[in-house]
Structure 1
Amino acid sequence: MVLSRFWLTIFISSILFIVVSFCIGGTYATDFVLNGKKDDPILISEQYLEELPKFLQDSIQKSDEKSFTINRDTTNIDTTYVFKNKTVKVFSGIQKSDGLLPTCKNTLFDLILPLIAYLAFFCGLMQLLIDSGASEKLAKKLSPVFVKVFPSVPKGHESISYMTLNFAANFLGLDSAATPFGLKAMESLQEINPDKERASDAQIMFMCLHAAGLTLIPTSIIGYRAVENAANPADVMLPCIITSFIGTIAAFLIVGIRQKVNFKSASLVVTLMTLIGAIAGLLFYVNGLDLIEKNFFTGNLSGLLLIGIIAFTLIFAFVHEKKFTALNTTVFDSFVTGANNGLKTGVTIFPYVLGMLAAISLFRNSGLFEIISDGIAFVFSHLGVSKEITDSLPVALLRPFSSGGSRGFMIDSMRMYGVDSLTGRLSCIFQCSAETTFYVIAVYFGSVKIKNTRYTLTTMLLVDLICVLAAIFVAGWFF
């Protein structure tokens, strides 16, 4: 219900803002909202050539392309005058994201189809884990801990192995593998959910822990910083790990208190301390490496572990081939069956993702997001928060809505303020230590057709806020 109302609020408020802005002359054209593409120039007016100042007329007429660009302010986008069909069109600024119709198209071709491919492959591997008995063995070994965190999940239930694989994939920065594992976990949890249209406690706990995005190797962030010629591309690695760990602990405590989890459980305490020790040991090891060694380690660890997971699955399936025979199937046929299920899951979640991204497209292009973002930055600046922090806030504000949009702001902040500035580094930590909340809710709950998400959205947004505050503190501590 909360998600539905929030979605309607975004849609309706954006449309009203567009209409009002057009009526009062705040925008000259509305077509860009529907058909424009990201980074396209925005049409702000159209005039006859003779109405322009003389120097502009001369400059346009002398240009071979019948256009002229004025660099009015080095901090703003250039204004371009284009003479065509007896009129001069004036463009200024660039579009923040694709329009509504291109978003619909790109959601299918650039997002859903690649996602379906990932789902098909990894769901095929998961089917091998199920039929070979590997997932059952993993679930039994982890049950003592998971029954404390997820009391409603039966001991040894297959969802435990799927959640483990999802957390591990996120931990290692394996986004392509994390989503299929997570969707399979949601489907498995849905099987034991007594109310099929209402999120269960286990599903909420899983979603909120997933949203915290505990990350060990922020591979993509390091890659973007390397492209922008950072002095040490991996220097944000430790802050990213610490911030995402704080978010994970916060998510566990917030949801755990509400679900009355027994925090005094010995197995839970031991597991938590082991995890903290492992992260601390890894941080100590990585911190002792030089620049080349860090780049080599962070660049290869995730890839090698993913290859290792694939190899283990196939070898384990081969060794236990008799189990496939007992199920009247083969290893390859089992893989195909799982891949087919992944394909069906991708088709199921498409409408949910499309609806959410379409709303976000209108929200960004309407200009409403910029007003809200600038307003928050203004408030923070008057509270004594440094300009370096307020300049990076757009990344934090947009992250729950759009990973691509926040990534664009991150890259822009590195280029505008310097890749090794506090703003550039903090933007990277924001991008790494939070989840695309609305997209994730649409995908995961949409895959099992849950309508009532209960307190999931508010908790995930609270965790996002905690990650933002933690990122600011950690960045200030490190840099």
Structure 2
Amino acid sequence: MLNRIWLIFFGAALLSIGISLSQGEWHVLSDAVDSIFASAKLAAEISLGLIGVLSLWMGLMRVGEKAGVVAAISFLFEPLLHRLMPEVPKGHPAYGSVTMNLTANVLGLDNAATPLGLKAMQDLQSLNPNKEVATNAQILFLVLNTSSVTLVPVTVFLYRAQQGAAAPADIFLPILLATTASTLVGVLVVACFQRLSLFNSVIMGYAAVILGGISALVFYLGTLTASAIGTLSTSLGNGILLMLIFSFVLVAGIRRVAVYDEFIAGAKEGFEQAVKLIPYLLAMLLAIALLRSSGALDYLLNLIAAVVKVIGGDTRFIDALPTALMKPFSGSGARAMMLETMQHYGVDSFAGRLAAIVQGSTETTFYVLAVYFGAVGIRNGRHALVCGLTADIAGICAAIWVCYQFYG
């Protein structure tokens, strides 16, 4: 699958460069060459930047596992995860690391989510009979990451505040609705591919509790100001993070675990894993950079706009599509597109709000796929990419629909 995707990206970039040259746009050659070397530099910077935080969390997770704290946390969600990942044995460490990663994603703890996700993928890989082919559990986990619900997307609020939004957090509910749709569709598509039965008492019970909790949180946050929401989210996330770290270390100490030695052993694994990521990141970033610098995404955007005009549809959402098209490929690229849209059309315009909703409702599927599968050496992702992109499309479509309902 990845081999074909790589060839498709390069083919699309070459075709786009050819079209640009035929129109006399010779700058596309230098843009493409610059993007090649820039992607190599970026891959190294991302991997090296992960060394510290990955070593930190791999070390802490090892201490937490030895202390039994991770197992205690996983106990809360193991019945649900076991229904979704039936091939993972009960009591396996993967349940703990998966739960920790999803919790970090929900709380918007980006610095913790990625290293915890890599640890979870490593734990799932220990059950993989064919180390180069993704298992059903690994695919489901990846899709949950590409579409995971972030309860309070504080970074999007901050960008809106910087651009002078009248109420930076007024897009909270639209983002939550869009990202929830993305997650639900992602799980449903994976269930179809893997023939999972979702309609049982355990999954329905957890779904009712989770949706009820989200509804209560939405109602409560609706009574707060934008600054209060940001303060609450930051304090809650940081508080939970510190509580986990102290519980890992103190409980391990009480149980006479060699805390320092275990932390060092885990940190060494994190260092080795971060360095191994460079080739996989480079391959994906190179293809994406060429696709972007060649103008292929711009041609796709123009094609969509032309089709919408032909069928007589409302074209206001087209102005925010650059963010939507870039999001599956590059988080930084989508952020730049969002800011550009806000500056050009206004932060509180329809396009400005829609770009922000899209930014907060989906994840960078190709980046997550390259990092998580690359970390454990998986070359064949099977239906992971299809499911991840389907969740992205669902999130983007939901964002457009919700934006029309709230601001249309």
Is 1:257 the equivalent of 2:189?
no
Cα offset, 1:322, TM superposition: 5.0
Is 1:378 the equivalent of 2:306?
yes
Q: Is the 8 A contact 2:31 2:294 kept in 1?
A: no
Deviates more, 1:118-127 or 1:23-32: 23-32
Is 1:138 the equivalent of 2:73?
yes
Cα offset, 1:283, TM superposition: 0.5
Structure 2: runs of 5 or more not aligned: none
Partner of residue 251 from structure 2, selected from 277, 296, 319: 319
Is 1:22 the equivalent of 2:26?
no
Structure 2 match to 1:270: 205
Cα offset, 1:17, TM superposition: 3.6
Alpha-carbon distance between aligned partners in 1 of 2:193 and 2:371, rounded to the nearest angstrom:
24
Cα offset, 1:242, TM superposition: 1.1
Alpha-carbon distance between aligned partners in 1 of 2:354 and 2:20, rounded to the nearest angstrom:
33
Q: Is the 8 A contact 1:159 1:189 kept in 2?
A: yes
Structure 2 match to 1:210: 145
Cα offset, 1:428, TM superposition: 0.7
Alpha-carbon distance between aligned partners in 2 of 1:20 and 1:423, rounded to the nearest angstrom:
29
Name the CA shift for 1:279/1:384 in 2 (closer, same or farther; >3 Å).
farther
Q: Is the 8 A contact 1:318 1:331 kept in 2?
A: no
Q: Deviations over 1:34-63 (max 9, x none)?
A: 23xxxxxxxxxxxxxxxxxxxxxxxxxxxx
Q: Secondary structure at the match of 1:334?
A: helix
Name the CA shift for 1:276/1:332 in 2 (closer, same or farther; >3 Å).
same
Partner of residue 154 from structure 1, selected from 81, 89, 113: 89
Alpha-carbon distance between aligned partners in 1 of 2:312 and 2:319, rounded to the nearest angstrom:
14
Structure 1 match to 2:373: 445
Structure 1 match to 2:296: 368
Cα offset, 1:320, TM superposition: 3.4
Structure 1: runs of 5 or more not aligned: 36-98
Is 1:122 the equivalent of 2:60?
no
Give 1 or 2: higher helix fraction: 2
Partner of residue 227 from structure 2, selected from 263, 276, 295: 295
Q: Is the 8 A contact 1:377 1:391 kept in 2?
A: no
Structure 2 match to 1:334: 262
Alpha-carbon distance between aligned partners in 1 of 2:17 and 2:256, rounded to the nearest angstrom:
58
The CA RMSD over aligned residues, in Å, is 1.8
TM-score w.r.t. length of structure 2: 0.95
Is 1:403 the equivalent of 2:351?
no
Alpha-carbon distance between aligned partners in 2 of 1:284 and 1:417, rounded to the nearest angstrom:
31
Q: Is the 8 A contact 1:400 1:438 kept in 2?
A: yes
Name the CA shift for 1:140/1:254 in 2 (closer, same or farther; >3 Å).
same
Alpha-carbon distance between aligned partners in 2 of 1:316 and 1:33, rounded to the nearest angstrom:
48
Q: What is the letter of the counterpart of residue 317 of structure 1? A: V
Give 1 or 2: higher strand fraction: 1
Q: What is the letter of the counterpart of residue 262 of structure 2? A: S
Q: Secondary structure at the match of 2:230?
A: helix
How many corresponding residue pairs? Answer: 407
Alpha-carbon distance between aligned partners in 1 of 2:273 and 2:355, rounded to the nearest angstrom:
33
Structure 2 match to 1:31: 30
Q: Deviations over 1:373-429 (max 9, x none)?
A: 211122123333323211111111111111111111100111111100111011011
Is 1:225 the equivalent of 2:137?
no
Alpha-carbon distance between aligned partners in 1 of 2:173 and 2:280, rounded to the nearest angstrom:
35
Cα offset, 1:19, TM superposition: 5.1
Cα offset, 1:463, TM superposition: 1.0
Q: Is the 8 A contact 1:140 1:155 kept in 2?
A: no
Q: Is the 8 A contact 1:247 1:463 kept in 2?
A: yes
Name the CA shift for 1:218/1:29 in 2 (closer, same or farther; >3 Å).
closer
Cα offset, 1:113, TM superposition: 2.0
Q: Secondary structure at the match of 1:224?
A: helix
Q: Deviations over 1:104-157 (max 9, x none)?
A: 113322x22222222112222211111111112223343222111111111111
Alpha-carbon distance between aligned partners in 1 of 2:235 and 2:62, rounded to the nearest angstrom:
22
Q: What is the letter of the counterpart of residue 201 of structure 1? A: N
